[in-house]
C-alpha cells in the first residue's frame, strides 16, 4: 500500500511540474521580466532661461501605450532638487523609437547635475498599469547629467 501511495504521490509531483512548465512557456506563470522600455536622456541644450531636454523613448520591443506620463526631478550639481516636472511621453507606438522634447523652465542646463525618474504618473494601453510601466523602464544618459531611477 505504501509503495502504491509513494508512486501516486511521485506521479502527482511530476504532473504538477509538467503543468507548471507548460504554464511558464505560455507566459501565464512566467517570472521573466517584462519587455524593457528604455528612456535615454539624450541631450540638454540652453533654450533661453530654460534647459531643453531631448528624451529618447525606445519601445522597439514592446507594445503600444496610449499614454505614458512620468514624474521627473532635476537636481543641481550639489544634489539639491531644483525642478519637478510631469511629462507626457505618449502616445508610444509599438516597436518604435521616438524623441520627445521638453523644457525644465528657469533652469540652466549647466546647473543640472542629474535627472531622476521619480515615478510613473499614468500608463495606459493594453494591460499596462502604472506599476508595470515603472517596472519596465530602464534609464540611461548620453547627456552631461546622469538619468537615474
pLDDT at 33: 57
Per-residue pLDDT of the chain (149 residues; tens, 9 = 90+): 555 444 444 444 443 444 444 444 444 333 345 789 999 999 999 999 999 999 999 999 889 999 999 999 999 999 999 999 999 999 999 999 999 999 999 999 999 999 999 999 999 987 778 999 999 999 999 999 999 99
Q: Note the residue count of the chain.
A: 149
Q: How much is the pTM?
A: 0.76
Start-to-end C-alpha separation, the chain: 59
- Least Cα distance to 52 among 61, 63, 41 occurs for 41
**Contact between 139 and 132 (Cβ < 8 Å):** no
**Contact between 136 and 130 (Cβ < 8 Å):** no
pLDDT at 140: 98
Task: Report helix, strand or coil for 109.
Answer: helix
pLDDT at 97: 97
**Contact between 54 and 37 (Cβ < 8 Å):** no
CA-CA distances (angstroms) from residue 127 to 1, 24, 34, 84, 115? 50, 19, 12, 28, 28
pLDDT at 35: 87
Amino acid at each position: 500500500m505504501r509503495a502504491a501511495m509513494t508512486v501516486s504521490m511521485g506521479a502527482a509531483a511530476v504532473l504538477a511540474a509538467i503543468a507548471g512548465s507548460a504554464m511558464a512557456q505560455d507566459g501565464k506563470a512566467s517570472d521573466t521580466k517584462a519587455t524593457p522600455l528604455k528612456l535615454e536622456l539624450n541631450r540638454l541644450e540652453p533654450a533661453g532661461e530654460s534647459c531643453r531636454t531631448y528624451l529618447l523613448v525606445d519601445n522597439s520591443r514592446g507594445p503600444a501605450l496610449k499614454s505614458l506620463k512620468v514624474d521627473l526631478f532635476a537636481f543641481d550639481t550639489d544634489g539639491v532638487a531644483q525642478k519637478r516636472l510631469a511629462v507626457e511621453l505618449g502616445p508610444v507606438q509599438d516597436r518604435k523609437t521616438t524623441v520627445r522634447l521638453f523644457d525644465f523652465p528657469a533652469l540652466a542646463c549647466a546647473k543640472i547635475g542629474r535627472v531622476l525618474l521619480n515615478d510613473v504618473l499614468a500608463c495606459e494601453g493594453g494591460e499596462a498599469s502604472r506599476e508595470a510601466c515603472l517596472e519596465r523602464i530602464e534609464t540611461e544618459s548620453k547627456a552631461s547629467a546622469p538619468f537615474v531611477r
